[in-house]
Amino acid sequence: MSPSAARQTQAGAALVVALILLVVMTLLGLSSVRTVSTGERMTANTFDRGLAFQATEAALRLGESVAQVQADAVPPNKDFNALGVHADVDSSCSASPCVDGLCSQPDKDCPERWRNSGFAGWKDAAGLGLTSLATTPQYIVEFLGGDFPCDPENPDPATGGAQDCNRYRVTARSRGAGSDRSLVILQSIYATD
């Protein structure tokens, strides 16, 4: 084999090696871009969830203050229909009313209000100053009843424990700025004596 033929064979091998290295570097570059974009999406989702959580927490506190106002009202629960007690006489679901975020005692045979996507009794927690960061948070206050023990450590009326304290379930929800990315729902049981 002549020296010029050997050089032509080597030049061809170098071209193949260079092309293979170029393909490998391109694949590594594309992988890096994909990793960075996934990281950015994860960061945006975490940011939206954090904003939604803060807005939901603020709405929950507002709902608890509404429950306290209802508990302190004379007569008690002035804004609840018939003191909020639901008369459940059968095993069928009869929707109990909600007005302005205040809901009467839930029917045990109905799905939870907060899980029902068609439920329209939510009250907007406007005025919290969070609307530019997330959607307006919402809350509902459900009256659970007025015959709960006032002192959990002494629940027995025979030993002096009072049984006439109210309980309210406060549920709040909010979505992050990207409404399809995050939904936060928080609940608390608010006890009054």
Bridge partners of residue 186, in order along the sequence: 172
pLDDT given at position 3: 64
Q: What's the structural domain count of the chain?
A: 1
Per-residue model confidence (pLDDT) at position 24: 94
Q: What is the pLDDT along the chain (193 residues), one digit of tens a residue?
A: 566 665 555 657 788 888 999 999 999 999 999 999 989 888 877 888 888 888 889 999 999 988 888 877 755 665 564 445 556 667 777 766 788 888 888 877 788 888 888 888 899 887 776 655 557 889 999 888 777 777 777 767 666 666 678 888 999 998 877 656 678 899 999 887 6
In 3D, which of 118, 136, 135, 119 has the Cα closest to residue 127?
A: 136
pLDDT at site 29: 93
In the prediction, which pLDDT does 89 show? 67
DSSP assignment of 98-163: EETTEE-PPPTTSPPGGG-TT----EE-TTSS-TTTSSPPEEEEEEEEEEE-S-TTS--GGGT---
Nearby residues of 40 by Cβ (< 8 Å), 6 or more positions away: none
pTM over 0.85? The answer is no
- Domain ranges, residue 73: 3-191
Specify the pLDDT at position 83: 42
Residue 175 has a pLDDT of 81
Question: Which residue type, as a one-letter code, is found at position 124?
Answer: D
